[in-house]
Structure 1
Amino acid sequence: MSEGRWVLFLLGGDLEDPRWFVDRATQRLGEAFGQTPRASRDHWTEPWGFQDHRLFLNRAVLIRTNNTPDGIMATALAIERELGRVRAGADRYAPRTIDIDVLMVEGLVLRSEHIDLPHPRMHERAFALAPAADLCPDQLHPVLGLTVLQLLNELQGRT
């Protein structure tokens, strides 16, 4: 990977052909940041935060970049729009073709108008932690002080 901070993304979707959208988003992230991303295996999971009959496809992607957090988020949102993502307004939990979340950026804890790092709910979501654990199980959550794998194991122990 090139110089810069690593960025851990979570890609997911459940509409139309989720694998095509997640594959295309992975490719577009690589193109946008000028490298081949590392990707987790694909995880099929139940929807979170709403009821639906479709499973979500989730994949973690790791890329290095010198971009700012706002620039990283702007790139993710632009790729979502390019791939036809329609935001559901006030209802943040809804079916979608693609969702790109920024879970963590190496060494950063940040709360801003555009991005919160690490993602404020990643430790509550097995659908985020399981793919992340495929790529970086020993990575410490910079606020909670536990590794991604420890967070996943703790969450699975509660369910």
Structure 2
Amino acid sequence: MTDVPRTAVIALGANLGERETTIRQAVAELEATEQIDVLAVSPLYDSVALTLQGRDESKPGYLNGVALVTTTLDPETLLAVLQGIETAHGRVRVERWGDRTLDLDLIDFAGMTRDSDLLTLPHPRAVERDFVLRPWLDVDPDAELVGEGRVADLLARLDRSR
């Protein structure tokens, strides 16, 4: 924990239940958490489910967005808060990249890099996911992903490759 607030980017997603309601409640719970201030929340976007085998249109679609927050928590404590909110909304971790009522991923934390058993920063697959990059750009047009470059450029590259 530190006295200096640092900015974090949190990806929001859900493909089961009342997706938008769940995401909005999760954002409200983040805002209600001591030491976290929600600065901005992106519009929510529909996306195709992504599994270990790739895109799967037979699965329920996702609703995705990004929240930009400031916090005096350390990254691991923030991650624990995110996982607690997921659990409170019925998140069950049975299948990697499986269906979920709520998914809160810590994408970036003050530009830090970290690779531990608990947390990898920046999120290792953010650069591949337009459903993270597009809403991130909505809340921070000047955003940069450490080690990868400007989010606008990363998104443009993804869009060109499709």
Q: TM-score, normalised by structure 1?
A: 0.91
Q: Is the 8 A contact 2:12 2:66 kept in 1?
A: yes
Counterpart of 1:65?
A: 71
SS in 1 for 2:91: coil
- The match for 1:152 among 152, 155, 158 is 155
1:128 is the counterpart of 2:139:
no
Q: CA 1:34–1:4 in structure 2 vs 1: closer, same or farther (change >3 Å)?
A: closer
Question: How far did 1:94 drift?
Answer: 1.1
The one-letter amino acid paired with 2:159 is: Q
* Aligned-pair Cα RMSD in Å: 1.5
- The match for 2:106 among 88, 93, 102 is 102
What is the rounded CA distance, in whole Å, between the counterparts of 1:9 and 1:83 in structure 2? 17
What is the rounded CA distance, in whole Å, between the counterparts of 1:22 and 1:37 in structure 2? 16
What is the rounded CA distance, in whole Å, between the counterparts of 2:65 and 2:77 in structure 1? 21
The structure with the greater share of residues assigned to strand is: 2
Q: Is the 8 A contact 1:110 1:117 kept in 2?
A: yes
The one-letter amino acid paired with 2:48 is: E
Counterpart of 2:89?
A: 83
1:85-120 CA-partner distances (Å, limit 9, x unpaired): 1112xx311111000000001130111121111000
1:41 is the counterpart of 2:43:
yes
Instruction: Note the residue ranges of structure 2 that are not aligned, 5 or more in a row.
Output: none
Q: Is the 8 A contact 1:29 1:37 kept in 2?
A: no
Q: Kindly tell me the number of residue pairs found equivalent between the two proteins.
A: 155
Instruction: Note the residue ranges of structure 1 that are not aligned, 5 or more in a row.
Output: none
Counterpart of 2:30?
A: 29
The one-letter amino acid paired with 1:12 is: G
